[in-house]
Chain A
């Protein structure tokens, strides 16, 4: 694989391909999202106003409280969930939420993944590979 492939320390869920939505900011379902409209709603968030539905979110770190662990499953049931979450640093809540919702997540890179993935790029995320990875697909 080429330099457009970036390996993570851990992964969970299923292989997925979608458009990346990238920001050097955190992620919390409760703090940051309007889960009815499917958009980032916290005004200070760098993705405020943008839809997260069906996107591979490439963000810095898991933030906020424990609610995301319940919320990801409900978001999935209502069809307002990202395609995957790619984080520099996960916290246990994101891991627990992903496990409960059967949601795709990878985390832990040797570089700042939010600087490595272009916003709007089509990406492939494979959490089940021997070394979980995110890959930028050719245009």
Chain B
């Protein structure tokens, strides 16, 4: 990689050991992935839950945090993905003291480096959405795919160490989706049924993710017949990224880089074309609900809920009462708004639990299952259904309405 004078100074240790580690790490990654140089980034978003960091990651972070301020500080605004708990509700989830202690140590170290503990995977809905063409270093696949596709920002998937490295150096290797030539479509999907409910958008994302199959594929969708909402794009993108490891999609006529087909489709070549309709979406949903008549809990999470989703859950619970655990997971600002607007108290009065700053699968899901006897889980998040099986759960993908009905009917799923 070509290095500037400042980058060479970092590599030589002139800005301290944290920046030196960071630029060395970035050069290794950039060399592997074919980056010619670095690109300055305006923000970093860092995965920060201790279920991912583990003790080794927290101890490593603490060593960075122990450096003098001018050697350990971030150089650009840096925010965090959900952490591994909501301290106010950890006892209700039966999380163990050692988990909370590790979380506290991680938070203390991140804060010492100058990172804002925003604890959110919906920063594009609540903190600051990036602009068209803005280069950023974001973690959380759902954040990256939304910001790349819906906002037109430029980011690769940046895992925790790499996002932190970007925060410490103010730049990231210029490869992948920082480059215009990688942002054109590599496959076309003709969609013959525009989804309605959020779980349908997630199912569509899951189907296309499986078709795409890897990080370097860029699907372009044709046939979506209306402008989707931010929450619909959120569920679609999160599932597409989860099932396919995809970081960028286009919807022709809707997303900013695909106003015309010719903006993203090859001019003189054909690309693989697939067709997805209602039958495929129903089959996807069925696959995740067959054989499950009753669930142990309902989870709305992954991604965290927007204020409008929170309002919808509260409305669905009106006059009803959940008789199994009903977990509603959102970001700290949305929780604060939900408290102020009475939505949290409506949900809690109806037997639900509103959790802030965490995400279900990032919060020691396996240990929570064992401590609470949870096994079968209903959710409207296709992303969560893809992840949570590995933690020992049997997930059912249902609409938000069907999830709430199950929660209020001892977990029985209406057929």
In contact, B52 and A92 (Cβ under 8 angstroms): no
Q: Judging by beta carbons under 8 Å apart, are A77 and B56 in contact?
A: yes
The residue from A32, A65, A76 contacting B141, defined by CB atoms under 8 A apart = A65
Complex partner residue of A62 from B60, B214, B391, CB under 8 angstroms: B214
Q: Is the CB of B390 within 8 A of A66?
A: no
Contacting pair A70 B245 (CB below 8 A): no
Residues B54 and A70 in contact, CB atoms below 8 Å apart: yes
From A61, A71, A77, contact of B52 by CB (8 A)? A71
> Could you tell me if A12 and B32 are in contact, using CB atoms closer than 8 angstroms?
yes
Q: With a CB–CB cut-off of 8 A, which chain A residues contact B379?
A: none
- In the complex the two chains form, is B216's CB within 8 Å of A89's CB? yes
Q: What chain A residues lie within 8 Å of B159 (beta carbons)?
A: 66-70, 92-93, 96-97, 100
> From DSSP, what is the main secondary structure of chain A's interface residues?
mixed
Q: Is A57 an interface residue (CB 8 A)?
A: no
CB-CB under 8 A from B214, the residues of chain A are 61-62, 89, 91
Q: Which residues of B contact A14 (CB under 8 A)?
A: none
A107 to B31, CA, bound (A): 13
Give bound CA distance, A90 to B214, whole Å.
8
Asked whether, in the complex, the Cβ of A95 is within 8 Å of the Cβ of B215, the reply is no
Interface residues of A in 111-136 (CB under 8 A from B): none
Q: How far is the CA of A136 from the CA of B356 in the complex (A)?
A: 50
| Interface residue B55 (Cβ < 8 Å from any Cβ of A) | yes
Q: When the two chains form their complex, are residues B161 and A100 in contact, meaning their CB atoms are under 8 A apart?
A: yes
Within the assembled complex, what's the spacing in Å between the Cα atoms of A16 and B138? Answer: 33
| Assembly CA distance A27 to B103 (angstroms) | 27
Interface string of B154-165 (1 = CB under 8 A from A): 001111111000
Q: A18 at the A/B interface (Cβ < 8 Å)? A: no
Which residues of chain A in 47-84 are interfacial with respect to chain B, using CB atoms and an 8 Å cutoff? 61-71, 73-78
A92 proximity list for chain B (CB < 8 A): 29, 33, 156-159, 162, 175-176, 215
Q: How far is the CA of A32 from the CA of B387 in the complex (A)?
A: 8
Q: Is the pair A41, B162 in contact by a Cβ cutoff of 8 Å?
A: no
Given contacts A66-B141, A66-B157, contact A96 B386 (CB under 8 A): no
Whether the pair B25, A69 counts as a contact (CB closer than 8 A) is no
Closest chain B residue, CB of each to CB of A71 = B52
B411 sits at the interface (CB 8 A): no
Task: Tell me whether B25 and A99 are in contact (CB under 8 A).
Answer: yes
Could you say which of B33, B56, B139 contacts A95, with CB atoms under 8 Å apart?
B33
**Which residues of chain A are near B57, meaning CB under 8 Å?**
70, 73-74
Q: Does the CB pair A67–B162 fall under 8 Å? A: no
| A138 part of interface (Cβ distance < 8 Å) | no
Number of interface residues of A (CB under 8 A): 42
Q: Does B86 have its Cβ within 8 Å of any Cβ on chain A? A: no
B253 CB-CB contact with A under 8 Å:
no
Q: Is residue B47 contacting chain A, with contact meaning CB distance below 8 A?
A: yes
* Residue numbers in B under 8 Å from A61 (CB-CB): 213-215, 245
Instruction: Report B-chain residues with C-beta under 8 Å of the C-beta of A10.
Output: 32-33
A39 to B345, alpha carbons, bound, how many Å? 42
Q: How far is the CA of A63 from the CA of B205 in the complex (A)?
A: 15
- Whether A42 sits at the interface, judged by CB under 8 Å, is yes
Q: A139 an interface residue at 8 Å Cβ cutoff?
A: no
Contact status of A70 and B33, CB under 8 A, knowing A61-B214, A91-B157: no
Q: Is A41 within 8 A of B392, CB to CB?
A: yes
For residue B143, which residue of chain A has the nearest CB? Answer: A66
- Which of B52, B55, B156, B176 has the most A CB atoms < 10 Å from its CB? B52
- Asked if A34 contacts B162 (CB within 8 A), the reply is no
Query: Residue A31 at the B interface, CB < 8 A?
Result: yes
CB-contact partner of B387 in A26, A31, A99, under 8 A:
A31
Contact A78:B56 (CB < 8 A) given known A66-B139, A93-B157: yes
- A69-B162, A70-B54, A89-B214 are contacts. A100–B157 as well, Cβ < 8 Å? no
Contact partners of B362 in chain A: CB under 8 A: 67
Known: A61-B214, A97-B161. 7 other contacts (CB 8 A): A30-B361, A41-B390, A61-B213, A74-B57, A91-B157, A92-B156, A95-B32
Q: Spell out B's residues near A (CB within 8 Å).
A: 25, 28-29, 32-33, 47, 51-57, 60, 139-141, 156-162, 175-176, 213-216, 241-242, 244-245, 361-362, 366, 386-387, 389-392
Q: Which 4 A-B pairs have the closest CB atoms?
A: A69-B159, A74-B54, A91-B215, A77-B56
